[in-house]
Amino acid sequence: MSSARVTRQARLRAAAATAAVCALSAALLAPQASAADAPAYSETYRPQFHFTPEKNWMNDPNGLVYYKGEYHLFYQYNPSGNSWGDMSWGHAVSTDLVHWQELPLALSHDDKEMVFSGSAVVDENNTTGFGTKKNPPMVAIYTSHDKSTGIQSQALAYSNDRGRTWTRYQGNPVIDIGSKDFRDPKIQWYAPTQSWLMSVSLSAEHKVRFYSSKNLKDWTRLSEFGPAGATGGVWECPDLFPLAVDGDKNNIKWVLVVNINPGGIAGGSAAQYFIGDFDGTKFTAEDDGTYTPPAGTVKQDFEDTGFGSWTATGTAFGPGPAAGTLDGQQTVSGFDGKGLANSFHSGDATTGTLTSPSFTVDSPYLNFKIGGGRHPHRPGKVLADFEDGSYGDWTTTGDAFGTAPATGTLPGQQQVAGFQGSGLVNTFLSGDAGTGTLTSPEFTLDKRYVNFLIGGGNHPAGSANPTALELVVDGQVVRTATGRDAEALQAASWDVRDLAGKKARIRVVDDNTGGWGHINVDQITLSDSQAQPGSQETSVNLVVDGQVVRSATGSDSETLDWASFNMRPFLGKKARIQLVDLNTGGWGHILADQFTTADSPALSALQRAGWADYGKDYYAAVSWENSPGSKRYMIGWMSNWDYAGATPTTPWRGAQSIPRQMGLRTVDGRVRLTSEPVTSVKSLRQDDPAAAATTVVTNTSQALIGPAAQGRTLDIEATFSPRDAERFGLKVRTGAAGEETVIGYDTTTQELYVDRTRSGAVDFNGTFPGIQTAPLKAENGKIRLRILVDWSSVEVFGGNGEAVITDQIFPDPASQGVQVFAENGSVRLDKATVWHLDSTHG
């Protein structure tokens, strides 16, 4: 199988807090498609020109092969429902890679095994003896997952009727090394040695192993590749194939695609690639992985015995820099010199912050090394963080709140924990004797949630003497929260979607002088993501004007890697660097070192790696064998294991990307893997496209053309000439309640991006909303975009296919607008053409 199959099965059988079970729980809570009883293929989010099964769960593409005029698409499929389980091979065929016919189940799970991911070939020479030279067999090689032991081995099945029926080989398995992380074989015919070549993943070791065979039954081990590139998750679904560089058939390079989960460039699942040479035995990548970051001015290298002018709260960071690995910790590596910040003091149980003094931003970038837990900061609009030594424009009554926020635990109080930074509201100023209120200025409820940290006494609003946090709208208390008779602050949230656009105030009330007669409050924010109790951040943040404007987190690794903050928008402003550890669970710590200001960004191993797609939703990417004209077509599962089980679709779950033609092209002196939609997509274009005249757009968003360009299934080609705008591009699926999916270009970072934070249903999983970016430089002064819009996805191809972003979206069906925009300046739209696309269903 793929996608951390074995690890996933273990998680499904483990405690309810595991990721897979959380995903299933989220699925139960997710908004379901309203048209559950609609005719097949017309449900609310049903893709119209991407392959989906009529019903049930689908993930990885498998067995991609062309035979007798048909492209075969097998895929991981659950015949029993629309969540992961009972893995089998579904089957569909196409003559053009766009119109698909779903066929009956090909390879079913049984009492002994699940049928995980693999590949298929046409045995033209009948090397297996499964068919004849006149009627060569189609042979599938798949990973057999033993249900009783969890062992993964490689097995064969064959078909003599163009893949319609299958017979398992009686000699299975053909390779068994006794491993639970040995999967996803990809087979091809290697002509120079007249033998079969297998690429298969040693997933947990971040390796690809190569085998050779004359008959697909008896295999000889050749070599291994890895670890290399991105290694933040298991390696799965490898694929090795040759391509001509810049179309020169005398310059052939080999591409090794290795899918990774988690640890992808956009978080979670992704498809990375390596370019190099294959000599029939061994693959050698051109990039050896060495890296020298840009030079700059070191602001903190943690080489002294103490933190100097940096201030610490809590106990997580200890009295000073760590000298490497702490007691009970796995080996820490990747830091420079002899010291680093390490919040593993007393293990993951402790929390705290480490904050730099305020400094003026005078360099474009802040580069640093980071490691530790993957618990990202959740972005939001900070209403109050109580960090400035005063309550600012908040007003107080009574004596409980004093003249300024507290800086932690007050005299006579049990230890206060769980707050962020150096300040919080704490009404234990005179013990429990004080009372009063603290009220915010008026603000607009323009996001979905009010998130906050709260602790102290359990005296709800409405009781005789409350200690409560209140949301007041039109003079009425509409939401309340209170503590749990504990000094540790916990994350909590109010859903305020029904109050969108209203004016509100926050009021902190302490009207209690008895036991636990006080309240602790911190980090009140507006956000489109709901606070997740028990899953708090381990992060490095850049704070400007009280707002977290940049944030980075670890990758569940004790190896530090480079990261960078773009500080150009904040030049001349005052800022602070803050290391935050608010997590007491697994990987509940953060590592950091070498904070350096510089003129260019340092690149992480993720950024230095090659990525077939920079979006959140392109995984398990593999290519077809035997394609006509030796073209290399690739397809990926259009989802991400971070939230795949929670996407709001029914009665199916899972879609495949549009098939793509792959190539190698020299970009900026470096050979890059490129992709473009298969040409047959154009056959879906309706006549009479809408075309936009050349126009200059300045500091605005406006309809691209008009009603003719609106729709849910679109193919858009656009060319821009950048001027002085910082960001520009197109917005698609705009409409209801401010919904939009932004497809833009950032001239300051030279990056293509997709912002789906307001794309519709985004709150079924905390990792779903966000912005994905891909490096893209203008060519001949132009930025070219090709955008495919379907009912629940966007696929964006930048330049000549060197920057691709694939993202699912779940907008309201009424959101069909298309706009052109420019921010902080002007851009010239040279040309834009919008085609409506026909459905491939019926």
**DSSP for residue 459:** B
Dist. CA 787–CA 774, nearest whole Å? 15
The torsion defined by the Cα of 692, 695, 699 and 704, in degrees rounded to 10, comes to -10
DSSP label at 375?
Answer: B
CA atoms within 13 A on the CB side of 780: 4
Q: 732, 794 in Cβ contact below 8 A?
A: yes
Interatomic CA distance for residues 613 and 631, integer angstroms? 19
**724: annotated active-site residue:** no
Contact in structure between 316 and 351 (CB atoms under 8 Å): yes
The closest alpha carbon to 829, from 706, 698, 689, 676, belongs to 698
Joined together, the tokens standing for residue 268 give 């979670």
d(CA 257, CA 199): 10
**Burial class (CB within 10 angstroms; exposed 0-12, middle 13-18, buried 19+) of 70:** middle
Residue with tokens 């730099």: 356
Q: Residue length, the chain?
A: 842
Catalytic residue among 37, 60, 176, 277: 60
**For residues 429 and 405, what is the distance between their CA atoms, to the nearest angstrom?**
10
CA dist 335 and 323 (Å) reads: 10
Q: Which residue has the tokens 């909303």?
A: 769
| Rounded Cα–Cα distance for residues 550 and 538 (Å) | 14
- Report how far residue 728's alpha carbon sits from residue 700's, in angstroms, rounded to the nearest whole number: 10
The one-letter amino acid at 613: D
- Report long-range pairs for 22-27 (Cβ below 8 Å, ≥24 apart): 23/643, 23/644, 23/645, 23/646, 23/765, 24/83, 24/645, 26/643, 26/645, 26/646, 26/764, 26/765, 27/83, 27/645, 27/646, 27/647, 27/764
Give which of 592, 534, 582 is closest to 562, Cα–Cα: 592
Residues 6+ apart with CB under 8 A from 818: 703, 704, 705, 709, 710, 711, 714, 716, 730, 731, 732, 734, 834
CB 261 within 8 A of CB 234: yes
Question: In whole angstroms, what is the distance from residue 34 CA to residue 56 CA?
Answer: 17
Distance CA 327, CA 351 (A): 16
Q: How far is CA 79 from CA 76, 86, 88, 553, 636, in A?
A: 10, 7, 7, 38, 20
Residue 82: strand, helix, or coil: coil
The owner of tokens 């090909």 is 106
d(CA 786, CA 730): 11
Q: Distance between alpha carbon 97 and the CA centroid of its chain, in Å?
A: 27
> How is residue 691 written in tokens?
């075309």
Q: What is the rounded CA–CA span in Å between residue 198 and residue 182? A: 13
User: What 8-state DSSP symbol labels residue 45?
Assistant: T
Closest listed residue to residue 784, CA positions, set 770, 798, 795: 798
Residues carrying an active site annotation: 60
